[in-house]
């Protein structure tokens, strides 16, 4: 097996444009306070009225695009950066200082940004109102020869990324619920809604983004984290065979997403369950 590998933060589908059961859950989340999660450009300072929604205001296309970009970029950056930092911290804990030496254990997004995967591609998909959104951060390097437990530690390092996304999803859900309680308790003063509305919608998106990253990255396809975990748990002979899939892993994943298989049979049931539990 190879002695070094890199961790990427994988793929995310756009929670702002859901479908079927997951769409129903997103609609349920927004309806609690009268927000249309699929069209954030319609929000205004009078949108939320203790559970009821006023008539949406008119916006220009470019205004909605900019608003979407801002609301999506913050949760997306936080999710992928935390994912990478978690890999680096876990590797350092198990004996590999590579990420620390290269300055990758930091929440500064500029260190983790991949020009294509973090900026250009998501930006194009948002601007063109694509029905899905995906991207990645610069992979964190890990030297397998430095890990105290060898392949077992490789599995632990790989699991750290998805675990960080689960933690962020739960924290985002708590934030979302807290904002709802604040709105209901304080009424709907316009000066507060300008702050609370974006915070609430980013929290809801953050929960979905992080759950999506977690689920996608746990698919047992190398180079995704799930594939790394499985390679660390399988007997060496089987792990070597699974490693041969790695050059084709991203293509396999994109085909699963494009064909709707990943969404219909993996993301939709799992995200629907998690959203019912935490949102």
Helices (H), 187-224: 190-217
Q: Which among 6, 25, 38, 84 is annotated as catalytic? A: 84
Exposed, middle or buried by CB within 10 Å (0-12, 13-18, 19+), for 235?
A: exposed
32 in catalytic set: no
User: Alpha carbon 65 to chain centroid distance?
Assistant: 20
Contact 56, 47 (CB under 8 A): yes
Alpha-carbon distance 17 to 109, whole Å? 25
3-state secondary structure (DSSP) of residue 15 = coil
Alpha-carbon distance 95 to 266, whole Å? 34
Residue 55, both tokens? 């008539």
- Any bridge partners for residue 49, and if so which? 52
Cis peptide before 223 (omega within 30 of 0): yes
Distance (Å) of CA 90 to CA 12, 84, 148? 23, 10, 12
Alpha-carbon distance 179 to 54, whole Å? 19
Alpha-carbon distance 66 to 109, whole Å? 20
Active site residues: 84
């Amino acid at each position: 097996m190879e002695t070094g590998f890199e961790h990427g933060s994988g793929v995310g589908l756009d929670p702002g444009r859901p479908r079927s059961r997951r769409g129903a859950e997103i609609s349920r989340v927004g309806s609690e306070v009268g927000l249309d999660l699929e069209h954030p450009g319609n929000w205004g300072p009078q949108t939320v009225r203790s559970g009821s929604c006023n008539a949406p205001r008119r916006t220009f296309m470019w205004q909605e695009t900019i608003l979407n970009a801002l609301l999506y970029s913050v949760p997306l950056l936080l999710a992928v950066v935390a994912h990478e930092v978690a890999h680096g911290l876990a590797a350092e804990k198990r004996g590999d200082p590579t990420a620390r030496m290269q300055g990758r254990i930091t929440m500064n997004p500029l260190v983790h940004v991949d020009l294509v995967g973090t900026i250009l591609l998501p930006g194009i998909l948002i601007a063109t109102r694509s029905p899905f959104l995906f991207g990645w951060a610069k992979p964190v390097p890990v030297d397998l020869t430095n890990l105290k437990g060898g392949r077992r530690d490789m599995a632990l390092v790989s699991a750290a990324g998805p675990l960080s996304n689960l933690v962020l999803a739960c924290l985002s859900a708590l934030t979302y619920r807290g904002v709802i309680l604040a709105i209901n308790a304080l009424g709907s003063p316009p000066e507060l809604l300008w702050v609370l509305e974006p915070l609430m919608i980013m929290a809801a998106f953050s929960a979905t983004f992080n759950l999506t990253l977690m689920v996608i990255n746990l698919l047992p396809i190398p180079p995704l984290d799930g594939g790394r975990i499985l390679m660390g748990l399988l007997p060496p002979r089987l792990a070597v065979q699974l490693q041969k899939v790695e050059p084709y892993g991203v293509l396999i994943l994109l085909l699963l997403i494009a064909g709707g298989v990943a969404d219909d049979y993996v993301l939709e049931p799992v995200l629907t369950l998690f959203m019912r539990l935490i949102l």
